[in-house]
Amino acid sequence: MSAVAASAFDVVVVGSGIVGLGHALAASDRGLSVVVVDRAATLAGASVRNFGHLCFTPQAGLAREFAALSRPLWLRLATDAGLWLRESGTLVVARHADELRVLEEVAAERGGDSAFTGDLGRDVAGRPEIELLDRAELESRAPVGPGTAVGGAFLPADLQVNPRQAGAALAGYLAGRGVEFRYRTAVTGVRAGVVETTRGRIDAGTVIVAVNHDIDQLYPEVAERVGILRCGLDMLRVDASLRAPLVAPLLTGWSLLRYAAFAGTPSAAGLRERLHREHPQLAALDLNQMYTQLPGGSLIVGDTHYRGDAVSPFQAEGASETLLDLTAELFAVPRPRVIERWQGVYASGPNDFLIEEPEPGVHLVAATTGIGMTTGLGLAESVVAGFYASAQSAPLAHPTKGTS
């Protein structure tokens, strides 16, 4: 059997989700030769099984830094890659006084300069990151049932994309710039300067492993040491017959317990205690009750969360029934008609991100709290800026593109 010739690139990206594509974008922007390798035939993982909600404002810490880097990149790609993007902001409905207090505390904390008003942030310049709304203002913007809200908030910096189109559009844009894609190609081993695949060896200046929860396949010792699990979730696409369009992603009190900026407020502990006491069945689902509307008018509804080393493929119907009941109650509409159901799976860890370099020139990167769409492009920009500015991984002198 004849040997398969190796090919060489400055950067080899393993994984074609948003985090992997973000690294390919950052490397391509710097003039590096890039190949993206994925065992799947198309983008079908966490990067399409989500709300398409780019929730920059609710982030804190490192996630907030990456969110601030991501926002201008998404705005740029709306033009350059032709992807559907809505400068929608985010609406938050407060249905109880303690939910409104959480929003008030974050609004007070974020009263200074916004993190999102730099390059391409002119659309939100001069506006507070969190605009508090009274009941009438919230109900005039969100088609919730009359009398449902006590108030709410609007987060003007947040954006919305169509998760079923965004990744494919980005991949097409990168391919047009010379990034090579090798789908249906499994990676069998990674070491400094070399990626072994089922279609031959690829020599690399730098390797980015961005395979989300499958990090436990290529680097099981890292996944075990860090505590990376798989998080499964239940989501629906429905025809909800809303009385008016949902002009922005909509968060609820359950969402305030999930995002660090809200969950870190003094009032969040009391909110959590009340919701868990009054709705133990919803707490058991680890609920994030939120909604986005796709361009065609259908509504994405979700979501629940359950974790383990493996996620059972069998979804309990009770979770979907609960999501439908909650939707009908919040919007004061008949029980929605289900168009599609799906199970999402993403990496879940003790921190927001996995960023490790197990050996020089090999980077393991993942968003590990389900915020990859929001922060992935900024995470990638930060990682690539770090190795490109260093001597660890200088570009290969004469990269050769082509099928190995």
What confidence category does residue 402 fall into, taking pLDDT thresholds of 50, 70 and 90? very low
Residue 189 sits at φ, ψ, to 5 deg, of -175, 150
pLDDT per residue as tens digits for the range 313-339: 999 999 999 999 999 999 999 999 999
Taking 3-state DSSP, the helix, strand and coil percentages for the chain, each rounded to the nearest 5, stand at 35, 25, 40
Q: Is 86 inside a domain boundary? A: yes
Q: Is 1 inside a domain boundary? A: no
For residue 71, the domain's CATH number is 3.50.50.60
pLDDT per residue as tens digits for the range 51-98: 999 999 999 999 999 999 999 999 999 999 999 999 999 999 999 999
Q: Is 176 inside a domain boundary? A: yes
Burial 125-161 (b: 16+ CB within 10 A, else e): eeebbbebbebebbbebbbbeeebbbbbbbbbbbbbb
Q: Is 402 inside a domain boundary? A: no
Q: How far apart are CA 336 and CA 328, in angstroms?
A: 7
What's the total number of domains in the chain?
Answer: 1
Around Cβ 372, how many Cβ atoms within 10 Å? Answer: 26
Q: How far apart are CA 303 and CA 204, in angstroms?
A: 39
Single-letter amino acid, residue 185? T
Q: Is 393 inside a domain boundary? A: no
Q: Is 349 inside a domain boundary? A: yes
pLDDT per residue as tens digits for the range 137-183: 999 999 999 999 999 999 999 999 999 999 999 999 999 999 999 99
pTM exceeds 0.75, yes or no:
yes
- Answer whether residue 121 shows pLDDT above 70: no
Q: How many CA atoms lie within 13 A of 150 on its CB side?
A: 12
pLDDT per residue as tens digits for the range 237-295: 999 999 999 999 999 999 999 999 999 999 999 999 999 999 999 999 999 999 999 99
Q: Is 395 inside a domain boundary? A: no
Phi-psi map region of 253: left, alpha, beta (phi>0 left; psi -120 to 50 alpha): alpha
Any bridge partners for residue 206, and if so which?
A: 11
Q: How far apart are CA 338 and CA 237, in angstroms?
A: 6
In which domain, by residue range, is 45 found? 7-388
Q: Is 316 inside a domain boundary? A: yes
